[in-house]
Structure 1
Amino acid sequence: MRFKDYYQILGIAEDADLKQIKKAYKKLAIKLHPDVNPVDDGGEKFKEIAQAYKVLKDPKLRAEYDELRKHGGARSHDEFNTASNRQNASSSYSSTVDDGDFSDFFNSIFGEQSVNNARSHSSHRSRAEQFSQKGQDAEIDISISLEETLSKTEKTIQFGIPSIENGKIKQINKTLKVNIPFGVLDNSRIRLKGQGGPGIAQGANGDLYLNIKLKPHPLFDVQAYDLILTIPVSPWEAAIGADVTIPTLNGKVKVNIKPNSQTGQKLRLKGKGLKGKSITGDLIGVLKIVIPSETTESDKILWQKFKSSSTFDPRKNWSN
């Protein structure tokens, strides 16, 4: 068998590291793959680069091959193949592409391997069928407001996805109008079947996954389907009680602050939170007593009168 210079076949230097070997192989595999290079009848060039990659990526096989190459290929490829089989049967190179290695590589570029992969096909199937691959899946983040979760929302999205044409990878830009169902939560994932990258050799298209991100709200925090709202109240409202108006996601409502309320006390409004298909959250108001940032002279006189007449000691429990 004619001696083959695997370094020359992959177009790499003799001291190329594993990263450079893989990079060269990937570039040539895309260019010479039978599905995109019908001129290479029978895929002989593709087999050749696959053989080179199989040997040079394995340290033991590479060392033995380098020894063979150093002596000008004095030992035949058949001898080398036999020796390397004895040394590591699972790493031996052959005249056909290793299915696992092939599928791992193309899966990393174009998406999940088709269920009918090359290993399970008979020799009577076409080469295109043998290397059928599902297209690459795509993922994009979509930000929506809390208000938008209360009903179905239509969004226009744009994204790019790689595709192979004439042996070269190119970017396909897509624009879609998608419906976001009501009740989605932060980090929800929506699958749009077949909206990802195109399949290879009649393989199915990949899928598009939408990752939902809820926009931060200036007033509300979120706990599952519940909304948390801090309600500022004045000292006198907390002391004698008051009716105050608070915001919700779909309008304003009045709530009653009971006399002698304290900072941190909670009140719950049923059904005023986020909505899901089978659950509706609540709005939980957390009271926070707030004093004026500025005090007038008349205010000081009133506060002084209150201090003089009140027996309340906020540090009573410290007396012991």
Structure 2
Amino acid sequence: MAVSYKDYYKLLGVDRGATVEDISKAYKKLARKYHPDLNPGNKEAEEKFKEINEAHEVLKDPEKRKLYDQLGPDWQNGQQFQNGQGFENMHFNFNGQDVNGSDFSDFFESIFGGGGRSARGAQFGPDPFGGFSSRPRRGRDVEAELPLTLEEVMRGGKRNVTLQMPHGPKTLEVNVPAGIRDGAKLRLSGQGDPAPGGGTPGDLFLRIRYQPHARFRVDGENIHCDVALAPWEAVLGAKVPVPTLEGEVELTIPAGSSSGRKFRLRGKGLGTAAKRGDLLVKVMIRVPAELTSDERELWERLAATSTFKARA
């Protein structure tokens, strides 16, 4: 089988005369950068992490490095080549265990015949501070959205959530903190993807998404709503019902309130019990679209006798 040459020195950013200490330093620096725990869900970082571990596993070992270097001076051309002569039956072990499998590249296997899984099925996980560790890998984290109404956000409490996971639907009981912010994440430990080889499952992250509301608009922890007034309520003043997330309350409208005036109801917004936002109510004056003859006569008398100048 023809496979492409992999330049292990280039992968680690060292020259071919680098010492074992230089190789180890370069490896640790790159391993920290590309470690899967620091790059969740990043396939490119995961592949890079595998490559630098493969390169380090060869170059840190004098015997493996010697065999690798015997590929010859044409390594610079990245040429295609057949399985190396004399390397077909080479095997090795990590931490005293024979290994085989698919964690390493075809190039690696063509030279050493090895891989990254133990005979017991445990998958070897790269250790950013040196070599490989025999602990099973952790499963992938999963992220999903959790839509909530504003009333559910205000109340908080337990909710049953059904999610479509890679291995089928999963129903979970989730405890939603009262007043949780839009875009915040809830972490459910161990509810992500299962791990290969029996390792620890990943975590599930639920991102909170506020659903649009028919009456309220959200502005951080404050919410806004509009309340309609009849012209005479705005002029004479009135007590009108106003919606809140916890039910209606009565709001006193002072006489002479123009359309667009805002009233603040403190502690009627979103947030925790210790620090809730406010409800901002904007009054909007509505006029009748149709008038009876008596109503028209009254409006005409008002227009004729009033001294109010709307555009003064």
Fold match (TM-score > 0.5)? yes
CA distance in 2 between counterparts of 1:296 and 1:212 reads 51
CA distance in 2 between counterparts of 1:251 and 1:311 reads 40
Amino acid of the residue matched to residue 5 of structure 1?
Answer: A
How many aligned residue pairs are there?
Answer: 216
- 2:272 corresponds to: 276
Q: 1:286 to 1:120 in 2, by over 3 A?
A: same
Q: 1:241 to 1:149 in 2, by over 3 A?
A: same
The Cα shift of 1:268 comes to: 0.8
DSSP 3-state at the match of 1:212? strand
* Residues 161-199 of structure 1 deviation map (CA, whole Å, 9 limit, x = unaligned): 34xxxxxxxx24322121112111222211111111112
2:136 counterpart of 1:140? no
Amino acid of the residue matched to residue 195 of structure 1?
Answer: Q
Q: How does 1:164-179 map to 2 (within 5 A)?
A: 171-179=167-175
**Equivalent residue in structure 2 for 1:229, among 225, 228, 232:** 225
CA distance in 1 between counterparts of 2:302 and 2:239 reads 23
Q: 1:231 to 1:98 in 2, by over 3 A?
A: farther
**Equivalent residue in structure 2 for 1:285, among 281, 289, 296:** 281
2:218 counterpart of 1:209? no
Q: TM-score, normalised by structure 1?
A: 0.59
Amino acid of the residue matched to residue 199 of structure 1?
Answer: A
Indicate the RMSD between aligned Cα atoms, in angstroms: 3.4
The answer to whether the 8 A contact 2:3-2:107 is kept is no
Q: 1:119 to 1:214 in 2, by over 3 A?
A: closer
CA distance in 2 between counterparts of 1:223 and 1:98 reads 58
CA distance in 1 between counterparts of 2:128 and 2:282 reads 62
The Cα shift of 1:60 comes to: 5.8
DSSP 3-state at the match of 1:308? helix
2:113 counterpart of 1:117? no
2:169 counterpart of 1:183? no
Q: What percent of counterpart residues are identical?
A: 32
Q: TM-score, normalised by structure 2?
A: 0.60
Q: 1:92 to 1:139 in 2, by over 3 A?
A: closer
The Cα shift of 1:312 comes to: 2.0
**Equivalent residue in structure 2 for 1:295, among 291, 301, 306:** 291
- 2:154 corresponds to: 150
Q: How does 1:21-170 map to 2 (within 5 A)?
A: 61=78, 64-65=79-80, 77=84, 93-94=107-108, 95=111, 117=126, 129=134, 132-162=136-166
The Cα shift of 1:252 comes to: 1.7
User: Structure 2: 5+ residue runs without aligned partners?
Assistant: 5-42, 44-75, 86-104, 117-122
CA distance in 2 between counterparts of 1:269 and 1:98 reads 70
**Equivalent residue in structure 2 for 1:5, among 2, 7, 16:** 2
Q: 1:188 to 1:122 in 2, by over 3 A?
A: closer
CA distance in 2 between counterparts of 1:98 and 1:284 reads 68
CA distance in 2 between counterparts of 1:306 and 1:181 reads 55
DSSP 3-state at the match of 1:201? helix
CA distance in 2 between counterparts of 1:96 and 1:156 reads 51
CA distance in 2 between counterparts of 1:118 and 1:192 reads 25
